[in-house]
């Protein structure tokens, strides 16, 4: 029963901003009346918006899955949580990356230049830090990062979510207005800050949790380092 409730909540949360995105699109398109809707809005701008909304939710899920929350740890095996953490993180990263690229493309198509603002710079900064974190996590062994270097990248990654949040509420067309999405994202931020501070303190102490292993180069390829710096090798419930 607990698994079903968690799954239902996980599906419902991204569905709410997606529904409000649809309503926003209907209002915007109806404003054109009999005029033709610009193709760039249909194939570039609006897809970019929903990519951001869903990607933001998935980023939140990614951190929760590696946060060692009792409700999750008592429901799923640790190895399964790390596996989902990795999969959700990859999808979220791709969506956020597509959002950033498409929004910049939308500016170029509509205005012939990229219009910068504080809100947009926050988003670019979040995307830049996210790319660094992904490179550090996915290519930890090939790049031969030391543990100290990895920790620096890992701590920097904790600033991605807050930057993305303020980017969303400052210039977002859905999250930037008083709406259910804005409330949900606000709750996400509060929970995230609690989780992030807890994890930063753990990383600073060199402790990634009970029974967890510190990331370090290994000759064997039997274990996989995920974005949270934990190994799935021989992990059992």
- Supply the range of the domain harboring residue 51: 2-25+39-204
219 falls within a domain: no
Query: Does pLDDT of 3 surpass 50?
Result: yes
Beta bridge mates, 225: 231
Q: What is the mean pLDDT of residues 104-132?
A: 90
Tell the residue number behind the tokens 């996400």, with chain if given: 188
Residue ranges of alpha helices (H) inside the chain are 2-30, 39-40, 46-65, 70-73, 78-111, 118-138, 147-157, 160-171, 180-204
List the CATH number of the domain containing 20.
1.20.120
Confidence of residue 116 (pLDDT cuts 50, 70, 90): confident
Q: What average pLDDT does range 34-40 have in this prediction?
A: 81
* Residue in 26, 20, 5, 107 with CA at minimum distance from that of residue 57: 20
Q: Transcribe 181-213 into DSSP letters.
A: HHHHHHHHHHHHHHHHHHHHHHHHTT--STT--
Assign 4 a pLDDT band (cuts: 50, 70, 90). Answer: confident
Q: Which of 58-62, 92-96, 233-237 shows the lowest per-residue confidence on average (mean pLDDT)? A: 233-237
Residue 167 belongs to a domain: yes
What is the structure's pLDDT at 221? 44
| 21 or 206: which leads in pLDDT | 21
What is d(CA 195, CA 45) in angstroms, rounded to the nearest whole number? 33
Please check whether residue 230 lies inside any domain of the structure.
no
Is 211 within the bounds of a domain? no
Give residue for tokens 């510190």: 214
Mean pLDDT, the chain, integer: 83
Residue 223, pLDDT above cutoff 80: no
Tell me if 236 is assigned to some domain: no
C-alpha triplet 113, 117, 118: angle, nearest 5°: 155
DSSP designation for 92 = H
pLDDT in tens, 71-80: 898 889 999 9
Q: Tell me: pLDDT of 233 over 60.
A: no
Least confident of 16-30, 122-136, 194-208: 194-208
Q: Please compute the mean of the pLDDT values over residues 26-37 and round it to a whole number.
A: 84
For residues 24 and 16, the answer to whether their CB atoms sit within 8 Å is no
Residues 133-149, mean pLDDT to the nearest whole number: 77
Contact 232, 218 (CB under 8 A): no
Would 237 be classed as within a structural domain?
no
Look at residue 229 in the predicted model and tell me its pLDDT: 47
pLDDT at 217 over 60: no
**Residue 232 belongs to some domain of the structure:** no
pLDDT at 212: 45
The predicted structure's pLDDT at residue 91? 95
Contact 130, 160 (CB under 8 A): yes
Contact 73, 81 (CB under 8 A): yes
Domain count, the chain: 1
Q: What is the mean pLDDT of residues 97-107?
A: 94
Structure tokens at 222: 């039997």
pTM of full prediction above 0.85: no
Asked whether the predicted pLDDT for residue 234 surpasses 50, the reply is no
Nearest in space to 172 (alpha carbons), one of 97, 120, 104: 120
For residue 1, what pLDDT band results from cuts at 50, 70 and 90? low
> Nearest 5 degrees, angle CA 128-CA 56-CA 236?
95
**Residue 199 covered by a domain:** yes
Does position 216 have pLDDT exceeding 80, yes or no?
Answer: no
């Amino acid at each position: 029963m607990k698994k079903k409730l968690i799954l239902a909540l996980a599906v419902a949360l991204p569905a709410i901003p997606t529904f409000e995105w649809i309503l926003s699109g209907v209002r915007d398109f109806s404003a054109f009346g009999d005029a033709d809707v610009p193709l760039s809005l249909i194939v570039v701008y609006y897809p970019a918006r929903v990519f951001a909304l869903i990607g933001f939710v998935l980023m939140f899920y990614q951190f929760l899955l590696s946060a060692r929350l009792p409700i999750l740890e008592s429901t799923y095996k640790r190895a399964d949580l790390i596996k989902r953490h990795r999969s959700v993180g990859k999808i979220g990263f791709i969506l956020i990356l597509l959002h950033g690229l498409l929004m910049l493309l939308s500016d170029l198509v509509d205005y012939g230049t990229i219009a910068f603002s504080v809100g947009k710079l926050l988003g670019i900064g979040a995307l830049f830090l996210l790319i660094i974190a992904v490179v550090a996590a996915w290519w930890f062994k090939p790049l031969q990062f030391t543990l100290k270097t990895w920790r620096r990248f890992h701590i920097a990654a904790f600033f991605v979510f807050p930057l993305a949040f303020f980017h969303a509420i400052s210039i977002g067309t859905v999250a930037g207005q008083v709406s259910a999405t804005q409330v949900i994202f606000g709750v996400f931020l509060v929970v995230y800050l609690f989780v992030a501070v807890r994890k930063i303190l753990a990383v600073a102490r060199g402790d990634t949790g009970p029974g967890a292993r510190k990331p370090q180069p290994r000759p064997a390829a039997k274990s996989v380092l995920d974005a949270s710096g934990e190994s799935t090798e021989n992990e059992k419930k």
